[in-house]
């Protein structure tokens, strides 16, 4: 009889121990799932520092915060600084900049942002871990700039700005001449996670890249000879869009798992080579075109007047450039270089690097050096 009691006691203790372990594991799983949403470190992002106070003007606590995400690489840091400065000086809205960079650039960026002209800016520096892209990129020496890790920060907006419902992303080669609030207030249709500027719009020149098809349609970015692309039933003549400036509905982005969808197509491209061999633009564009096919809203084309970084930019009149809300030097020629169009407009917003590491390349500098 006592032997049976001992067995019962052991059984009860075993069940209690099992339930305790199960409870602990469930708590751990719950914590992990929660961290995947709120802790950016889980997926390769770590906040470095945050400046909460704007000194330039008092901010009404009831005013909506406008998150602006911009990537800042070491060799293009002056571009990001000029873009940020132009945004800040053309708005009275409550803007906070989420500046995505690599660890070795953070100190340089921080010292630049401490310049007197930039002290009123509210910002958060976020470190991007390139390991996040392992298995998702196909090495291509012809892609150059667009293969750099920070180019893909735009794919991870909800992780960069976890508490926001809406955000703006923009490249570092832009200047904003309008009030960013107007862009932020772009209406997005129900079910749409983002609004882009289409390449067929009337404000930007239609540019034809030799050997790459038309830069303003899907066939310029995707290889329609591949069965997986054909199965998507996307018209090759569909107008493409430019991902250098867009407004995102982050609630909808998360609901549709946009980031996971983008990563899926990146991996499939590594395995099957789905992008056009003569890619008409950035390597970030093809997965976005697939995921947002006929499922995106549009921004006012004057909020992404582009091609200033190509020969097409020279076709714009000074009056048109002045009227643009946002100027975009996409293309090979950047405004901190020597051959881009309207560099004087960009230079108005540039603030010299206090460390002296970043310098503009100008023709007159070369001439003076020769003399």
6-33 tens-digit pLDDT: 566 566 666 666 665 545 444 443 332 2
- In the chain, what percentage of residues exceed pLDDT 90? 67
Q: What mean pLDDT do residues 102-124 have? A: 94
Evaluate whether residue 344 is within a structural domain: yes
Residue 360 lies in a domain: no
Residue 314: give the domain boundaries: 66-348
Q: Kindly provide the b/e burial profile for residues 90-124, where b requires at least 16 CB atoms within 10 angstroms of the residue's own CB.
A: bbebbbbbbbbbbeebbebbbebbeeeebeebbbb
- 296 in any annotated domain: yes
Structural domains of the chain, count: 1
| CATH number of the domain bearing residue 72 | 3.90.550.10
Give the residue from 63, 138, 125 showing the smallest Cα distance to 94: 63
C-alpha–C-alpha distance, residues 356 and 184, integer Å: 34
Asked whether residue 26 is domain-assigned, the answer is: no
Residue 46 lies in a domain: no
> What's the pLDDT score for residue 3?
53
Q: What angle do CA 57, 63, 68 make, to 5 degrees?
A: 80
What number of other Cβ atoms are within 10 A of residue 239's Cβ?
A: 14
Quick one: average pLDDT of 189-217?
71
- The pLDDT tens digits for 317-332 are 999 999 999 999 998 9
251 located within any domain: yes
Task: Say which residues have a Cβ less than 8 Å from residue 62's Cβ, sequence separation at least 6.
Answer: none
Q: Per residue in 75-100, pLDDT tens?
A: 999 999 999 999 999 999 999 999 99
130-177 pLDDT per residue, tens: 999 999 998 765 555 556 899 999 999 999 999 999 999 999 999 999
């Amino acid at each position: 009889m006592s032997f049976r009691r001992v067995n019962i006691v052991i059984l009860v203790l075993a069940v209690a121990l099992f339930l305790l372990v199960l409870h602990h594991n469930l708590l751990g799983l719950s914590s992990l799932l929660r961290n995947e949403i709120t802790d950016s470190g889980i997926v390769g992002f770590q906040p470095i520092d945050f400046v909460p106070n704007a000194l330039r003007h008092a901010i009404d606590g009831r005013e909506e915060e406008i998150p602006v995400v911009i990537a800042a690489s070491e060799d293009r840091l002056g571009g990001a600084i000029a873009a940020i400065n132009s945004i800040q000086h053309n708005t009275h809205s409550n803007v906070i900049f989420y500046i995505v960079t690599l660890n070795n650039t953070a100190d340089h960026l921080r010292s630049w942002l401490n310049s007197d002209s930039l002290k009123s800016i509210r910002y958060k520096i976020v470190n991007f871990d390139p390991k996040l892209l392992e298995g998702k990129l196909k090495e291509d020496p012809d892609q150059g700039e667009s293969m750099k890790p920070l180019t893909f920060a735009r794919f991870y907006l909800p992780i960069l700005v976890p508490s926001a419902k809406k955000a703006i992303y923009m490249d570092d080669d832009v200047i904003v001449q309008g009030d960013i609030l107007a862009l932020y207030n772009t209406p997005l249709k129900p079910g749409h996670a983002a609004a882009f500027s289409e390449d067929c719009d009337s404000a930007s020149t239609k540019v034809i890249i030799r050997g790459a098809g038309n830069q303003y349609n899907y066939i310029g970015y995707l290889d329609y000879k591949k069965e997986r692309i054909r199965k998507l039933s996307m018209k090759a003549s569909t107008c493409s869009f430019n991902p250098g400036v867009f407004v995102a509905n982050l609630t909808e982005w998360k609901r549709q798992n946009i980031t996971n969808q983008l990563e899926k197509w990146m991996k499939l491209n590594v395995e099957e080579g789905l992008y056009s061999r003569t890619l008409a633009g950035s390597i970030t564009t093809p997965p976005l075109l697939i995921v947002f096919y006929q499922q995106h809203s549009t921004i006012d084309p004057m909020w992404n007047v582009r091609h200033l970084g190509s020969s097409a930019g020279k076709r714009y009149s000074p009056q048109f450039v002045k009227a643009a809300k946002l100027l975009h030097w996409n293309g090979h020629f950047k405004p901190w270089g020597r051959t881009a169009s309207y560099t004087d407009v960009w230079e108005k917003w540039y603030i010299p690097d206090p460390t002296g590491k970043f310098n503009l390349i100008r023709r007159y500098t070369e001439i003076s050096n020769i003399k």
